[in-house]
Amino acid sequence: MNKLITKLQKSLAAFFAFVFTLITISTTYAQAPTAAAIAEGGKIFHAKCATCHSLGTNKITGPGLQGVGDRVTAPAADWMFKWVKNNNALRKSGDAYANKVYADNGNVAMTVFEGDLTDDQVKNVVAFVLNPPKEDDVVAKGPEGPTKKADNDEHPGWILLLIIAVLFIIVVVLRTVRRSLLAVTNQKQGLPAPEDIGLWKDTLKWIKTHKTHFVVINIFLVVCFLVYGWQYLWGIDVTTGYKPSQPINFRHDVHAGQNGIACIYCHSGAEKGKVAGIPTLNVCMNCHKGIQGSTPEYKTEIAKIYDAAGWDPQNMVYNKPSHPIKWNRIHNLPDFAYFNHSQHVTVGKLDCKNCHGDCTTYTTNEQFAPLTMGWCIDCHRGTQVQMAGNGYYAKLHESLMKQDSSRTITEADMGGLECGKCHY
């Protein structure tokens, strides 16, 4: 009897220890920054911080932030929160490392973001800096250059495996508890101890006596598998957020943001052609014959332009061999899908931000929209046709307005959902 009670106690202790461990892991995981928080922090970083800090080792105005979590005072997230929020207050508090950073950077104080950013926004920025995008998130694929791996962060397979493992452990623990309780009951009633037929045979016996439960469980598992599989298949080659490194680190936030250069100046094909086009080196040299860079980082990148163009900045002549720049492609529609920039920019009068996001904040160009068929159709259904000065659809537009003058004419009404518009 005592042995059975001891065995029961050990089983219950193991079960509660497992539950406690699971709760601890779940709590820790819940406190970790979410993918959405990191993404939001990335947007703020590019808008507020990227002009002074890189995510690498190179120094711009401030130091590069690669490995910053290993350099600062532990716990890193707490210290960085105080530093980003108000570095002046942190230094005045006597923090040794804060004053060291200040001294190492020529006694130049960083911007104080207290009052500009909320505490949650500062935490998101810190989460992004401590969890920056990694180069191994991309793999080479075909002649077009690197392609982003399928992003399954929203439905990671390891969570499903963890759930299965947890359920299995719970079944084993509860089975042991049940057998111990049954043995105690049989002993009190003078019956022999239950025979241990093994987990597998015990499972088959349960299935035979609980057929309805077994069928319901299997239907549930099959539905979960189908839903997960459906979501996974829809995400194949949808590379939103893909931003590969480039041979020259062209920064849109500097050119389109700080300097206010119009998109059409560099991407001249967008108004009159199917493809917006990548600017030639001649377009770059229109400005960079005279602008050689104000920081070491800028000078390094501009020197790459000079090398490709064969330009000698000392003698101000083209006296060297030139070669093309092999950019890594970001936006890539399948061959069976037709898209024309001029139809959207000139006729549709759409802003570039609709498809490319706010490029004035990008330190590295990236894919903003999913570019799926569903995304395009939603845009066609919700975008009002701009008819001012647009005679292309005038006759059709007048006909639709005669039917109902109060209606809002969208691209879908103008044939924007016809298969032949995009597939032919």
Output the pLDDT for position 5: 52
Quote the CA–CA distance of 66 and 63 in Å, as a whole number: 9
Cα dihedral 345, 349, 352, 354 sign: negative
Which residues neighbour 121 within 8 Å (Cβ) at sequence distance 6 or greater? 40, 41, 44
35, two tokens: 């993918």
pLDDT of residue 134: 61
- Let me know whether 122 and 162 are in one domain: no
DSSP state, 311?
E
Same domain, 119 and 161: no
Q: Are 249 and 362 in contact (CB under 8 A)?
A: no
Q: Structure tokens of 392?
A: 């292309």
Half-sphere CA count of 340, side-chain side, radius 13 A: 10
Mean pLDDT of the chain: 82
Which of 215, 234, 253 is where one domain is finished?
A: 234
User: How many whole angstroms from its chain centre is CA 279?
Assistant: 27
Could you tell me the residue range of the domain that residue 166 belongs to? Answer: 157-234
CA 340 to chain centre: 27
The H-assigned helical ranges of 189-332 are 199-209, 211-234, 252, 263-266, 281-288, 296-309
Asked if 295 and 61 count as a contact pair (C-beta separation under 8 A), the reply is yes
Structural domain includes residue 198: yes
The pLDDT tens digits of the residues spanning 199-221 come to: 788 788 888 999 999 999 999 98
If you search the block for the tokens 């020197």, which residue do you land on? 303
Q: Please identify, among 172, 199, 234, the residue that sits at the C-terminal boundary of a domain.
A: 234
Domain tally, the chain: 3
Convert the pLDDT of each residue in 79-121 to its tens digit. Answer: 999 999 999 899 999 999 889 888 888 887 888 888 888 988 9
162 and 102 within one domain: no
Compute the residue count for the chain.
424
Is there a single domain that holds both residue 43 and residue 100? yes
Smallest CA-to-CA distance from 330 within 133, 140, 148 is with 148
Q: What does the alpha-carbon distance between residue 198 and residue 230 come to, in Å, rounded to a whole number? A: 37
Assigned domain for 168 exists = yes
| 13 located within any domain | no
Domain of 72, CATH number, reads 1.10.760.10
The predicted model gives 116-134 an average pLDDT of 86
Of 362, 356, 328, nearest to 344 by C-alpha is 356
Same domain, 68 and 124: yes
The rounded distance, in Å, linking the Cα atoms of 300 and 289 is: 15
Same domain, 162 and 73: no
One domain, residues 122 and 161: no
pLDDT in tens, 256-294: 998 889 999 999 999 999 999 999 999 999 999 888 888
Residue where the block lists tokens 């992003």? 151
Which pLDDT belongs to residue 392? 65
Please tell me whether residues 52 and 114 are part of one structural domain. yes
Structure-block tokens of residue 279:
């600017």
**Sorting pLDDT into bands at 50, 70 and 90, what band is 17?**
low
Hey, what are 149's tokens? Answer: 């791996």
Pairing of strands 311-312, 317-318: antiparallel
Separation between Cα atoms, residue 283 and residue 381, nearest integer Å: 37
Residue keyed to tokens 């059709």:
396
| 43 and 81 together in one domain | yes
Cβ pair 129, 80 in contact under 8 A: yes
The mean pLDDT value for 329-347 works out to 91
Look at residue 87 and tell me if it is in a domain.
yes
**pLDDT score of 325 more than 90:** yes
Beta bridge partners of 140: 146
128 and 208 share one domain: no
On whether residue 42 sits in a domain, the answer given is yes
Domain edge (last residue) among 187, 209, 234? 234
Query: Is residue 216 situated within a structural domain?
Result: yes
Instruction: Please report which confidence band the pLDDT of residue 222 belongs to, taking 50, 70 and 90 as the band edges.
Output: very high
Do 44 and 124 lie in a common domain? yes
Closest CA to 239 of 145, 371, 358, 103: 371
Higher pLDDT, 369 or 139: 369
- For residue 27, the model assigns a pLDDT of 46
Minimum mean pLDDT range among 18-27, 196-205, 383-392: 18-27
Q: Classify residue 76: in a domain, yes or no.
A: yes
Residue 213, domain member (yes or no): yes
> Where is 140: in which H helix or E strand?
strand 138-140
